[in-house]
Amino acid sequence: MRADLILTNALLADGTHADVTVSNGVIAAISTTGASDGSITSPRHDAGGALLLPGLVDGHVHLDKTLIGLPFIPHIPGGTVASRIEAEKSLRRSLPMTIEERGGRLVEHLSALGTVAVRSHVDIDTEVGLEGLEAVLSLKAKYSARMDIQIVAFPQSGILRDPGTADLLDAAMSAGADLVGGLDPAGIDGDVSGHLDVVFGVAAKHGAGVDLHLHDGGALGAFELRQIAERTLALGLAGKVAVSHAFCLGALDDSDFGRTAELLARADISIMTTAPGPVPMPPVKRLRAAGVQVFSGSDNIRDAWSPFGNGDLLERAGIVCDRQDFRSDEDLELAFSLVTEAPSRVLGRGNGRLEPGAPADFVLVPSGSVAEAVASRPRSRTVFKHGVLLDQSPLA
């Protein structure tokens, strides 16, 4: 027998050392170091005792928005979501690099940091049309050997307030987008039912999932979450719907939180949080205890919405810990699951664990445990995709 690769002497999360056999881009076996089948002749890579982590999964990026690779562009202040939408549109008309060039640089940067799969929202509006989608579809094909890219058709400028967008969302799904997005049904479109009618109508037509941005806060946001859950259940989309941000979940009284979380769990709706700084954050443990899956992602990485963001998911897990006051090893491992196992399930990639049958997408880091990797965010990352060692380095 010949395998594609045998990774030897890797430290596993449980503290043991193992050899990992890869065949056809998939993990074929994990065995105690030295105990693997000696008759297998294959290329070997000595992990040297480095910690083996599953490939990181970014549950929320915007490949079309990033300014990475360009000279630093000062942030244009905007106090509201609506004003930032206009500021971004103005900026993107003048950028000297194409969406594909900028997005490609970001894919390479993320890949070097150990990210093997992303869910990217892509702006769909009446000005840019499907141009961003076509660029990201091109990136999806071009980088298939290093990154799995799932695409959400995202109505960044609203749906009802930008007439024609509903048809564009439908066209985006026909053109290859994987999920239908949405944005603040109340705060941006001022019509919860009207907005959700379009989002869920397009999703149902294409048999696709949904991932909405929801910044609306407090009781209004919670009402919208329940509306989303009701529609999810009515359309049989349980397990295929996510809500990104959902700041409101961090600011509800017990009664409102309880009934909202119960409905989210029943509709199997996942919640994405970046662990934002200046606004309430969905409580990770409380939601999990209620049966709601929580996952994380980078969101804006040096774009018109934020001059910050570096796409490092180990750092993101650390930010989750910081905001949730997670300090024990168990807590740090929980945060790590928000950038590995949870987004893997959300993206339909299985449970995100290293086990036979799983994609051979993994990362070696110089750490003694998962908790240490989250705490120390080692810069050195040796990344394998489909069992192939990637040769790359992140942008400065």
| Terminal C-alpha separation, the chain | 42
Quote the least distance from Cβ 22 to Zn ion, whole Å.
Answer: 34
**Interface stretch with Zn ion, choices 11-19, 33-41, 298-306, 308-316 (CB under 5 A):** 298-306
Quote the least distance from Cβ 61 to Zn ion, whole Å.
Answer: 8
According to CB under 5 A, which residues from 84 to 143 bind Zn ion? Answer: none
Strand order in the sheet with 241-245: 56-61, 115-123, 148-154, 179-183, 209-214, 241-245, 270-273, 294-296
- What backbone torsions phi and psi does residue 277 show, to the nearest 5 degrees? -80, -55
Q: Give all strands (DSSP E) within the chain, no chain letters.
A: 5-11, 17-23, 26-32, 44-46, 51-54, 56-61, 115-123, 148-154, 179-183, 209-214, 241-245, 270-273, 294-296, 362-365, 382-385, 388-389
Quote the least distance from Cβ 272 to Zn ion, whole Å.
Answer: 9
**Is 299 or 312 the residue whose CB approaches Zn ion more closely?**
299
Beta-bridge partners for 271: 243, 294
Question: What is the C-alpha to C-alpha distance for residues 260 and 219, in angstroms, rounded to an integer?
Answer: 10
Q: Give all strands (DSSP E) within 223-319, no chain letters.
A: 241-245, 270-273, 294-296
Question: What is the C-alpha to C-alpha distance for residues 41 and 274, in angstroms, rounded to an integer?
Answer: 44
**Is 214 or 287 the residue whose CB approaches Zn ion more closely?**
214
Element (H, E) at 331: helix 329-337
Its sign, for the CA torsion 54, 58, 64, 68, is negative
Quote the least distance from Cβ 299 to Zn ion, whole Å.
Answer: 5
Based on the shown chain and the rule CB under 5 A, indicate whether residue 331 belongs to the binding site for Zn ion.
no
**Interface stretch with Zn ion, choices 106-114, 279-287, 292-300, 338-346 (CB under 5 A):** 292-300
**Interface stretch with Zn ion, choices 196-204, 254-262, 299-307, 311-319 (CB under 5 A):** 299-307
Based on the shown chain and the rule CB under 5 A, indicate whether residue 341 belongs to the binding site for Zn ion.
no
Which has the closest alpha carbon to 294: 230, 339, 240? 339
**Is 51 or 179 the residue whose CB approaches Zn ion more closely?**
179
**Is 104 or 309 the residue whose CB approaches Zn ion more closely?**
309
Quote the least distance from Cβ 181 to Zn ion, whole Å.
Answer: 9
Quote the least distance from Cβ 305 to Zn ion, whole Å.
Answer: 8
**Is 53 or 122 the residue whose CB approaches Zn ion more closely?**
122
**Is 30 or 118 the residue whose CB approaches Zn ion more closely?**
118
Quote the least distance from Cβ 112 to Zn ion, whole Å.
Answer: 22
DSSP structural state of residue 125: B
Residue number closest to Zn ion, CB atom: 299
Size of the site for Zn ion (CB under 5 A): 1
CA distances (Å), origin 346, targets 77, 221, 273, 366: 33, 22, 13, 28
Based on the shown chain and the rule CB under 5 A, indicate whether residue 299 belongs to the binding site for Zn ion.
yes
**Interface stretch with Zn ion, choices 70-78, 293-301, 315-323, 377-385 (CB under 5 A):** 293-301
Quote the least distance from Cβ 373 to Zn ion, whole Å.
Answer: 26
Question: What is the C-alpha to C-alpha distance for residues 229 and 270, in angstroms, rounded to an integer?
Answer: 11
Which string of x and - marks every residue 198-237 that binds Zn ion (by CB under 5 A)? Answer: ----------------------------------------
Question: What is the C-alpha to C-alpha distance for residues 349 and 361, in angstroms, rounded to an integer?
Answer: 11
Residues that bind Zn ion (CB under 5 A): 299
